[in-house]
Structure 1
């Protein structure tokens, strides 16, 4: 089965992304910006798994809310990881914003062991595409 995103939220603009970056004091990489401009949240359907993809704006699962919960209030995920989805069992999928060699890689944080687990070397690899434009 090819990866696809369904149940997307209302479309956002580059202004919405800029506002998000200012509010959260983070700079999103271009491939993640492209993904949000195409699909603002929803359900990532890949193989036999579905992931809840957080939105920048609109809907029940907003990324800013997840950042506030997981990184500000509970402080269980380091700030250099950007939570962008939940796994089928509720584990957190993150995008590394680090300045080291983990930058751009996708990590899983399990609820029972909050150490980052590398699951993909890039967002494109995680989604099973060569480019976000192909998605």
Structure 2
């Protein structure tokens, strides 16, 4: 996997500070990814759904440093301020239509990736706008195609 136009490089210590700030625990493969690639555009920008439909990723959010949507700001806006995201979901990328890709920090779905379809937002029933895409961050990355 290759990413273009990355934000400033992160350290594991900086990621730990962000985890403490947000009150979450990133998965090891998510941490490794962000130390290698902080935000940016994946060369393979399309997620291939099981039914063959593709969703084009606009960009992965950056952490700590500007350059792209900042993960911390997106989390504060979507979870704390607007209360669009349910507890346990952390946005890390967006598609071209303003929808989000989130990693779960919930114990029973830890590391699973979900698509947050804002066109079907329902404040009462998050299942109406959240769809699980993969069981892990690595599985999600492996399903990105050109």
TM-score range, shorter chain: 0.7 to 0.9
Q: 2:94 aligns with which of 67, 86, 91?
A: 86
TM-score (ref. length: structure 1): 0.86
Q: CA deviation at 1:47?
A: 5.3
In structure 1, stretches of 5+ residues that fail to align are 130-135
Q: 2:74 aligns with which of 66, 82, 90?
A: 66
* Alignment deviations for residues 2-26 of structure 1 (CA, whole Å, 9 cap, x no partner): x431111110111210110111111
- Counterpart CA distance in 2 for 1:90 and 1:25 is 25
Q: How many residues align?
A: 126
RMSD across aligned C-alpha pairs, in angstroms?
1.6
Query: Where does residue 13 of structure 1 map in the other structure?
Result: 11
Q: Does the 8 A contact of 1:40 with 1:57 survive in 2?
A: no
- Counterpart CA distance in 2 for 1:126 and 1:15 is 25
TM-score (ref. length: structure 2): 0.80
- Counterpart CA distance in 2 for 1:109 and 1:31 is 21
Q: Does the 8 A contact of 1:93 with 1:106 survive in 2?
A: yes
Q: Post-superposition, which runs of at least 4 consecutive aligned residues in structure 1 deviate over 3 A?
A: none
Q: Does the 8 A contact of 2:58 with 2:94 survive in 1?
A: yes
Q: CA deviation at 1:57?
A: 1.4
Q: CA deviation at 1:51?
A: 3.2
Q: Does the 8 A contact of 2:45 with 2:58 survive in 1?
A: no
In structure 2, stretches of 5+ residues that fail to align are 47-55, 122-128
Aligned pair 1:123/2:140, yes or no?
no
DSSP-derived class of the 1:69 partner: helix
